[in-house]
Amino acid sequence: MNTKQFKVETGLEVKSCLTCGIVYAIPTELIKKRRGDHKSFYCPNGHSLYFPEMTDEERLSRSLELCQISCENQKRKSRFNDYKARYWRGKVTKILQRKEARDGWEKTESIL
């Protein structure tokens, strides 16, 4: 019989099942992968387990996404406020022009 020997090194993480309490070891790389993709894995007794919490990368990505949304909202508010300011500036200008035409007042552009 021809046998070959090979050496495999892998890290194992010791976990316990939340349902049955069995203690088991699972490769560190697999745990890392499951934390990232949130897919199910099984304890030795067949209970389905998964990591629902976000990874640091997901948390940072979500935080960045929220910052971008907030930034866009602020830009929209700013554009709307600019629009309102132009609108009211135009209204005031018309009122002053009418008043000037009616009363012969001096132009008061300096206050605008």
Q: Is 15 in the site for Zn ion (CB under 5 A)?
A: no
Q: Is 40 in the site for Zn ion (CB under 5 A)?
A: no
8 A C-beta contact, residue 42 and residue 30: no
Q: Where are the alpha helices (DSSP H) in the chain?
A: 28-37, 56-103
Q: Is 45 in the site for Zn ion (CB under 5 A)?
A: yes
Q: Is 43 in the site for Zn ion (CB under 5 A)?
A: yes
Which DSSP category does 13 fall into? E
Q: Is 20 in the site for Zn ion (CB under 5 A)?
A: yes
Residues 6+ apart with CB under 8 A from 88: none
Question: In 9-56, at which residue ranges do the beta strands (DSSP E only) sit?
Answer: 12-16, 23-27, 41-42, 48-49
- Computed over its alpha carbons, how large is the radius of gyration of the chain? 34
| Token digits of residue 43 | 């304890």
Q: Is 63 in the site for Zn ion (CB under 5 A)?
A: no
Of 20 and 92, which has the nearer Cβ to Zn ion?
Answer: 20
Please pick, from the candidates 11, 12, 13, 19, the single residue that binds Zn ion as defined by CB under 5 A. 19
Q: Is 47 in the site for Zn ion (CB under 5 A)?
A: yes
Min dist CB 54 to Zn ion, Å, is 24
Min dist CB 21 to Zn ion, Å, is 7
Q: Which residues bind Zn ion (CB under 5 A)?
A: 17, 19-20, 43, 45, 47
